Amino acid sequence: MAYISFDSSNLTKFVHDNELGEMQAMVTAADSELRNGTGAGADFRDWIDLPTNYDKDEFSRIKAAAKKIQSDSEVLVVIGIGGSYLGARAAIDFLNEAFYTALPASERKGALVLFAGNSISSSYVHDLIHVIGDRDFSVNVISKSGTTTEPSIAFRIFKDKLVEKYGEAEAKKRIYATTDRARGALKTESDAEGYEEFVVPDGIGGRFSVLSAVGLLPIAASGADIDKLMQGAADASKDYTSDKIEDNDAYRYAALRNILYRKGKTTELLENYEPTMASFAEWWKQLMGESEGKDQKGIYPSSANFSTDLHSLGQYIQEGRRNLMETVVKVDKPNYDIDIPKEDSDLDQIGYLEGKTMDYVNTQAFRAVTLAHTDGDVPVMAVHIPDQTEYSLGYLIYFFEAAVGISGYLNGINPFNQPGVEAYKVNMFALLGKPGFEKETAEIQKRVQK
């Protein structure tokens, strides 16, 4: 029995009874490709066994490094882009109070984790330096190559700030490098300067790397229990092994979203009713978009935060183009609940809610929206998680990873590469005059002049 539950009961008007059965042979074939390594991208499947087959020595070093960071730094600046930061940010937001960044250090569970190198905005970096102020800080730079433009710029800046504040020798003790095991610019620099090093696994793509050192060090530094996080993922990896749709909710979800995709539901909204899950949706969008958007195919991943976005996107979802499907991640028990106060007057006309709790209202809103959108011809699926704990998060992460692996193969693409990600970089390097791109520079200049 899976720890989280997947509810597809509202799809009866969109998916006929026989359609899932017709998908079984394809799901079994996709499962064989995934488990046996016969499908495209087989070299990047190590995430499958990662929750149980990980480097225990490195895991211990991660926890030790996290304690050191907590002891000598109020702030940890995590430098990375894409999969090098999205998973960590999703987890930290998921596991903390909504305004934890504004809490005094004494009320936080661990270091204040802030992120850089995920854009090229000079204003953002200025503001980050400003908010750090005089506080002690360390840096975790995450890059397999060490030459990705955005994190490389940020690392130079924050490395300079460390040296300015602590001197070269002490600065080196405050830099933690998560990079390739054997090669690359960051690996070379780390070896030469003596930074503490952690490994970006060879057989795991960035978007699947949150349960490796890439995500675990920042998550642990924030004060989260990474043992429970890994246990949740480990249990999910055992629960989602069957190739039978009726026994595997992750595969059922993959099959249903592919049935809907082939009926014209080309955009999927991941939705939540807890603001602390907004960053989780950003992680999910990379996981799904980078895995499936190839060969002019794939479901476009988007997101919405309810009930907030019901007052902005709600009209479109209810009555706009009928190319949408929705997947809600619903927390069944919130971290806190609040009673709605009683008042003598009823000017705001919510007297009928007196004696009820905010979560009761939130849950009824979820049910009402599901019914309304289903009536409006938008298919709605729901993934229910018991709570916002490390265990639940680890389990949920693995659910979506298993689902997208199968979903990609069902759609006839390699779910583990990302060739299109490099296209913009060639143009950017040409416009910036990077050595080795002289031919591209000439071509781009011609196009720009036109």
Could you list the active site residues? 290, 425
Contact assessment for residue 307 and residue 323, using Cβ atoms and an 8 Å cutoff: no
Closest C-alpha to 33, from 17, 48, 18 = 48
Cis peptide preceding 237, ω within 30 of 0: no
3-state secondary structure of 387: coil
Q: Are 280 and 335 in contact (CB under 8 A)?
A: no
What distance in Å separates the CA atoms of residue 272 and residue 277, rounded to the nearest whole number? 7
Dihedrals phi, psi of 286, to nearest 5 degrees:
-65, -45
Dihedral, CA of residue 92, residue 97, residue 103 and residue 104, to nearest 10:
-70
User: How would DSSP label each residue in 292-343?
Assistant: H-BTTB-PEEEEEETTGGGGTTHHHHHHS-S-EEEEEEEESS-S---BPPP-
* Residue (of 302, 282, 275) closest to 362 by Cα position: 275
Are residues 268 and 288 in contact, defined by beta-carbon separation less than 8 angstroms? Answer: yes
CB-based burial, 390-404: b 16+ in 10 Å, e otherwise: bbbbbbbbbbbbbbb
